[in-house]
Structure 1
């Protein structure tokens, strides 16, 4: 298996996990939601790209793998089965590899230094939500 495919699946993994957590087993059928963070929506888009490039029988197989992983978010074997499915799809379809490469953010090259200074400062390479005030409760 090529290092490119392994790298793509490793990079996509957190997005897929986030999508399953946000959308559940309906990730393949639900429309993108503005109420869901960008990470989850990117994971949903990745799964849709893979799904739509598969034949009817493969789409059914993918749906089963996705539902299993969504219903068992803590099960590392279910998550691994989904990653394996995506790897197989990428091995079989060069155009899919290109599409996935375009969807995923470009990985940072070289060392990244992130510094926070001062009371209630936040430091992260990527932040989707940050609340630093007293008494604020995020919408649930």
Structure 2
């Protein structure tokens, strides 16, 4: 069963995009041809959340607040909290949402961890080439 943090990382941006695109109307608006894949996914996820969450009115209130706040980070965080609470209380809902999402990338996400200060080049990637041009003195 997928971890809650992994689901939140995938669900919240899609639901947030749907709310940004349609505002509070996302709660009742039918999918449109012109809607992008992320918005359609967000609508499906939100619909499932509203049908299966123990307190769908809390999800609705957070969506309405986000729509009114026009993408404010705090309002998005409040929606994330409501979605987290729904996922924590329902393993079945976690499985249903995971089935709607593409699989998360396998393994650790690429990146560089730096401890301390770095004075040179940090480069990742297959076949990366770094060229340092020094100014003439």
> Do these two structures clear the TM 0.5 threshold for a shared fold by scoring above it?
yes
Other-structure match for 2:13: 14
CA distance in structure 2 between the aligned counterparts of 1:15 and 1:60, rounded to whole angstroms: 19
Normalized against structure 1, the TM-score is what?
0.71
Of structures 1 and 2, the larger Rg is shown by 2
CA distance in structure 2 between the aligned counterparts of 1:98 and 1:81, rounded to whole angstroms: 22
CA distance in structure 2 between the aligned counterparts of 1:99 and 1:11, rounded to whole angstroms: 13
CA distance in structure 1 between the aligned counterparts of 2:9 and 2:35, rounded to whole angstroms: 22
CA distance in structure 2 between the aligned counterparts of 1:74 and 1:18, rounded to whole angstroms: 9
Among 92, 97, 101, the alignment partner of 2:98 is 101
Cα RMSD of the aligned pairs, angstroms, is 2.2
Cα offsets for 1:91-121 (capped at 9, x unmatched): 00111000011011112335788xxxxxxxx
Q: Give the 3-state SS of the residue equivalent to 2:3 in structure 1.
A: helix
Would you say how many aligned residue pairs link Structure 1 and Structure 2?
110
Unaligned ranges ≥5, structure 1: 114-140
CA distance in structure 2 between the aligned counterparts of 1:61 and 1:17, rounded to whole angstroms: 15
1:40 has 2:39 as partner = yes
CA distance in structure 2 between the aligned counterparts of 1:96 and 1:70, rounded to whole angstroms: 24
TM-superposed CA distance for 1:25, in Å, is 0.6
Normalized against structure 2, the TM-score is what?
0.72
CA distance in structure 2 between the aligned counterparts of 1:108 and 1:7, rounded to whole angstroms: 10
CA distance in structure 1 between the aligned counterparts of 2:39 and 2:98, rounded to whole angstroms: 17
Among 68, 71, 91, the alignment partner of 1:71 is 68
CA distance in structure 2 between the aligned counterparts of 1:74 and 1:65, rounded to whole angstroms: 12
- The answer (yes or no) to whether the contact 2:52–2:93 under 8 Å persists in 1 is yes
Q: Give the 3-state SS of the residue equivalent to 1:36 in structure 2.
A: coil
